[in-house]
Amino acid sequence: MTTAIAINALTKKYGTKTVVDNISFTIKEGELFGLLGVNGAGKTTLIKMLSGLTMPTTGDATLLGKSVTQSPEQVRQVIAVSPQETAIASNLTVRENLELLAGIQGFNKEEGKRKADEMISQFSLQPFEKQRAKTLSGGWQRKLSIAIALISEPQILFLDEPTLGLDILGRRELWAQIEKLKEKTTIILTTHYLEEAEELSDRICIMKNGQMKALGTAQELIKTSKKTSFEDAFVHFVTEGDVQ
């Protein structure tokens, strides 16, 4: 297996505050990597640095051999991001949103149409196809926002809290799609649903105050923490040293 993402001493400071603190690890191609941590741990900031949105203060990372600090344009060719916030063009219809992003990612018109059809059916968006995005309910906007990320068939996919605001059916649908994508796509997933992370991830990294507190499979993390469930293990790592 080859390396998809190599993170090397990545650090981000805002003023005097260190938000991501000297993080290093590698992610293999085709791996589904879970990034966990409490609110404000630095997960989104780490994803923003890996996707070229934010420049690291120090350190670097390479995605399929391309450096985020040296050649962010090349990094953008191989990634797709579903941001933590729902990000859609509100005055475009569902289909127009999908076709626009397909076009931006380099698909021609027919391919874009076909890809949009695929996404619409995968996310059960048929009833809303011609509806303006701003008139969808929050959860459906969310699904559209994720579908937009998947449409480009990226080699590396970042999903920042994808299931936020989805009902249980929507979550299950998404899990099934993620499972399917796993074979050919490297996925970095953040979530606050621990069972989701445990179920889907090949390996999990737990962050706290910008630092990496644990790294391994769910089983390994349970074992290291000497707990019986993954939830207890998670609590152990994010409260380590704290008075409980």
Ligand X SMILES: Nc1ncnc2c1ncn2[C@@H]1O[C@H](COP(=O)(O)OP(=O)(O)OP(=O)(O)O)[C@@H](O)[C@H]1O
User: Cβ-closest residue to Mg ion?
Assistant: 44
44 binds Mg ion (CB under 5 A): yes
Separation CA 30–CA 10 (nearest Å): 22
Q: Which is nearer to ligand X, 40 or 138 (CB)?
A: 40
39 binds ligand X (CB under 6 A): yes
43 binds other proteins (CB under 8 A): no
**At 66, which helix (H) or strand (E)?**
strand 66-67
Q: Which is nearer to ligand X, 63 or 206 (CB)?
A: 206
With contacts defined by CB under 8 A, name the span among 87-95, 165-173, 191-199, 205-213 that binds other proteins: 87-95
163 binds other proteins (CB under 8 A): no
User: Cβ-closest residue to ligand X?
Assistant: 44
| Measured CA angle at 29 (ends 27, 34), to 5 deg | 45
Q: Which of 4, 45, 88, 234 binds ligand X (CB under 6 A)?
A: 45
Q: Are 223 and 192 in contact, with CB atoms under 8 Å apart?
A: no
84 binds Mg ion (CB under 5 A): yes
93 binds Mg ion (CB under 5 A): no
The single-letter DSSP state of residue 187 is E
With contacts defined by CB under 6 A, name the span among 42-50, 71-79, 168-176, 228-236 that binds ligand X: 42-50
Separation CA 162–CA 86 (nearest Å): 9
Residue type, 76: R
Binding string to other proteins for residues 115 to 134, with x set by CB under 8 A, is what? -----------------x--
Q: Which is nearer to other proteins, 132 or 227 (CB)?
A: 132
List contacts with ligand X (CB under 6 A). Answer: 14, 19, 37, 39-45, 84
